[in-house]
Amino acid sequence: MVVGGGAAIIVKSDKTEVREYLLGRLADADEEQFELRLLSDSEFAEEFDVVVDEITDEYLQNDLPGDERERVEKYFLSSNERQVKLQFAAELLRRAQSRPVPRPGFFEQIAAFWRQQSYARVALVAAAVIIVAGIIILWPKSTTTYLAVNLTISTAERAEGPAVQHVKPPPNAGLKITLTIPENARGAKGYVVKLVGGSDLTIEQQTPEAVVVTIAPGSITPGTYAIQLSKIKPDNTRERIPGSYYFAVE
């Protein structure tokens, strides 16, 4: 991200990455890192919406090559929110073509509508964060304080953004994270927990429905994080469970 003329703009490489993400071309690992940045960088999220607008306009104007048009229909429009945007934009275009309306005015109407949709999405995420806020507990028979956090796996559609639980550990406190195992992944030989961009986490406790890991005080800094869960198959190989557990440390 660079700044010029008092406003943030997206660099060309970032814009290419956004387009690749929206068209389903990023690898799983790159996609996880992309979503983390989308959740933690507000300026990048605004520019992301701009690219969404551009792809929608190109689709309506039939300016996409055949392979990209197919990817728009398969990946980009898998989001209900973007389907609504497309329908709204198509109606505005139909009205614009039926009467002489200056082209800039048409795009201003679309931009205003999409901004409203973005604000609505932020409000929904904020409400979810309040509902799932963690509670503070003391680890029994230990001088170390831990903040208890309960997370469920998120498989949110592209660009809609998964719900992120915000946590604020007390000074010198660690995290005790309980990961609920999806029903279709229970009963495995064992599980492996990995912090995206980091190393495997040690499982402190395991039940048929959940695994518990702890993160020592001071080992992570404020920011947005994602945890991946894999099950160990009978042949001792790993199989990643789709989705991630998201949380943000304040």
pLDDT tens string 209-233:
999 999 988 888 888 888 989 999 8
Q: What is the pLDDT of residue 165?
A: 86
**pLDDT value at position 78?**
81
Residues 113 and 139 in one domain: no
Residues 83 and 151 in one domain: no
Name the one residue in this structure whose structure tokens are 């001088």.
143
CA angle 149, 153, 156 (to 5 degrees): 125
Do 152 and 105 sit in the same domain of this protein?
Answer: no
Residues 231 and 146 placed together within one structural domain of the fold = yes
Cα–Cα nearest to 192, from 184, 181, 183: 181
Same domain? For 106 and 172 the reply is no
Beta strands in 196-244 (DSSP E): 200-201, 203-206, 210-215, 223-232, 238-240
Residues 113 and 136 in one domain: no
Degrees to nearest 5, angle at CA 27 with 122 and 179: 60
How distant, in Å, are the alpha carbons of 90, 158, 221 from that of 65?
19, 22, 44
Q: Which residues contact 17 (CB under 8 A, 6 or more apart)?
A: 26, 30, 34
Domain boundary, last residue among 79, 99, 130: 130
What sign does the CA torsion over 184, 163, 200, 209 have? negative
| Structure tokens that stand for 28 in this block | 């799983």
Which of 130, 159, 177 represents a domain boundary (last residue)? 130
pLDDT of residue 99: 60
pLDDT for position 182: 92
Amino acid 250: pLDDT: 87
Report which of 83, 84, 79, 86 is spatially closest to residue 56, judged by C-alpha positions.
86
Same domain, 109 and 191: no
In whole angstroms, give the CA distance from residue 167 to residue 249: 5
CATH number of the domain bearing residue 165: 2.60.40
Q: Are residues 22 and 71 in the same domain?
A: yes
- The mean pLDDT values, 10 residues at a time, for the chain of 250 residues are 39 81 86 85 83 87 85 84 76 66 57 59 51 47 79 68 80 91 90 85 91 89 88 89 88
pLDDT at position 209: 93
Output b/e per residue, 14-29; b: 16+ Cβ within 10 A. Answer: bbebbbbbbbeebeee
Q: Furthest-apart CA pair in the chain: how many Å?
A: 76
Q: Do residues 122 and 218 share a domain?
A: no
Same domain, 19 and 136: no
Range of the domain at 191: 132-249
The domain tally of the chain equals 2
- Residue at a domain's end among 103, 130, 157: 130
Asked if residue 138 and residue 80 are part of one domain, the reply reads no
Whether 74 and 155 share a structural domain: no
pLDDT at position 5, please?
Answer: 37
pLDDT confidence of residue 11? 67
